[in-house]
Structure 1
C-alpha cells in the first residue's frame, strides 16, 4: 500500500496526537529509524529506537505532534516548551524537540521541515530564548535540514548515547550532537 495514496480528500495537517494513536506512532518511529542500523553501534541504536518509541513516558512532559497526510500519520515529533524536561543539559528558557521521524515512504515531501517549523513557531509563541535539539552525525539529511533552518552546532551540549540511555560504552557508543536556534525575544 502506498502511504501517500489518498484515503480521503485531505491536505497534510499537523495536529496533536491522540493517546489512541501511540501504537501507530511507535511503529512509524521504528520504521523511520530502521535504515540507520548500519550507521551506528547496534546496542546504541537499539536502545535509542526503544527509547524513542516510549511515547507514554514523555506524553505528560511534551506535546506529541503528528503530520497527517490523506488520513494517515506519516510523521511525528515531540515538542517541549521547556527543553529541560526532555533531558540532559539544556538551559532554562530553551524549548526543544525530539524524535522527529518521517516514515521512509513519506520522505522528500517536506514533512520533516513542516514539523521543525511548527516546533520553532511553538517556541516563539512560548517565549523561548532558543530551541535546542540533539541528533546524530550519521543522520546527515536531518542535520543538513536543521542547518538550513538556522540551527547551529553547539558542542557544549553534546552528549554520549551511553549517558542518556544507560549502557556500557564498551558496547559501542555514539556522540549525540547538539544544535541551537537562538530566537529573537521581544
Structure 2
C-alpha cells in the first residue's frame, strides 16, 4: 500500500485564512450551488472559517501535503449545539458532526475527502458519541457516494431549506 502523500491534522490558526480562501474557491465552483453574490453571508462564514474554533469542542482539520501545501479541510463539531445548520440537527444529543468539507481541485482523487471524514468519525468515537450527523446538497452528490460507503444513511428528519437550496441530512450510527 502506498503511503499517503498528505497528513491529516488539526489546523494551526495561521492556516485559517488560507483554508477559508480554499473553501470559497471550492464551494463557489460547484455546479448548482449558490454563488457568493447569492449567499454572501455563507461565503463570509467560509472566509472566516477559523471563527468556529471559538466554540468548545470545535476543531478544524486539514490535509497537508509533504511539501506543506494545504489540500483540504473540514470543521468537526463534538457538540452539535455549535453546528450552525438549519433544521433539527443542533438538537441531536450524544452526536458529533462535521461541515464544510473541501478538497482543492489539484488534490482530488487522493482520498483526502475520505481521510478527513474518517478523522471526524474517529474523533466522535474517541468522545464515545453514538452518531455523526452531516448535511449535503445535490451539488455535492459525488461526496454522497463516499459517505454511503463509509456507512452514512440519508436521514430525512435532518433535511431543511437554506433559502431556495434544499439541504439533505445524513446520519452514521456508531457501534
Q: Is the 2:17–2:48 contact (alpha carbons within 8 Å) kept by the matching residues of 1?
A: no
SS in structure 1 of the partner of residue 139 of structure 2: coil
| Shift, 1:11, TM fit | 4.1
2: CA distance, partners of 1:176 / 1:22: 25
2: CA distance, partners of 1:121 / 1:113: 12
2: CA distance, partners of 1:55 / 1:35: 18
Q: TM (normalized to structure 1)?
A: 0.81
Residue 83 of structure 2 corresponds to residue 86 of structure 1: yes
Give the aligned partner of residue 27 of structure 2: 33
Give the aligned partner of residue 181 of structure 1: 172
| 1:30-67 CA distance string (max 9 Å, x none) | 1211321x413445555433323321331122101111
Give the aligned partner of residue 75 of structure 1: 72
SS in structure 2 of the partner of residue 59 of structure 1: helix
Give the aligned partner of residue 50 of structure 1: 44
1: CA distance, partners of 2:60 / 2:141: 24
The structure, 1 or 2, with the larger RCO (C-alpha pairs under 8 Å, 6+ apart) is: 1
Residue 153 of structure 2 corresponds to residue 152 of structure 1: yes
- For the aligned residues, what is the CA RMSD? 1.7
| Shift, 1:84, TM fit | 2.3
Q: Which has the larger radius of gyration?
A: 1
1: CA distance, partners of 2:122 / 2:64: 18
Alignment of 1:68-147 (within 5 A): 68-70=64-66, 71-87=68-84, 88=86, 89-90=88-89, 91-147=92-148
For structure 2, the residue ranges without an aligned partner over 5 or more in a row are: none
For structure 1, the residue ranges without an aligned partner over 5 or more in a row are: 1-9, 163-172
Count of residue correspondences? 164
Give the aligned partner of residue 53 of structure 2: 59
